[in-house]
Amino acid sequence: MSSSNRQGGSGGVEVRASHILIKHEGSRRKASWKDPEGRVIKNTTRENAVSQLKAFRDDIVSGKATFEDIASRFSDCSSAKRGGDLGPFGRGQMQKPFEEATFALNVGEISDIVDTDSGVHIIKRTK
Active-site residue identified among 7, 51, 72, 95: 95
Identify whether 118 is a catalytic site residue.
yes
* Neighbour order of strands in the sheet with 14-22: 85-90, 14-22, 119-125, 114-116
Specify whether 121 is catalytic.
Answer: yes
10 part of the active site: no
Which residue among the candidates 18, 75, 79, 118 is catalytic per the annotation? 118
**Catalytic residue, candidates 4, 10, 77, 78:** 77
Q: Name the nearest CA neighbour of 118 among 8, 24, 1.
A: 24
95 is a catalytic site residue: yes
Q: Which of these is catalytic: 19, 24, 75, 111?
A: 19
Long-range contacts of 109-112 (CB under 8 A, 24+ apart): 110/57, 110/60, 110/61, 110/67, 112/57
Active site residue 24: no
Residue of 27, 32, 75, 121 marked active site:
121
Distance CA 62, CA 104 (A): 22
Q: Which residues are catalytic?
A: 19, 77, 95, 118, 121
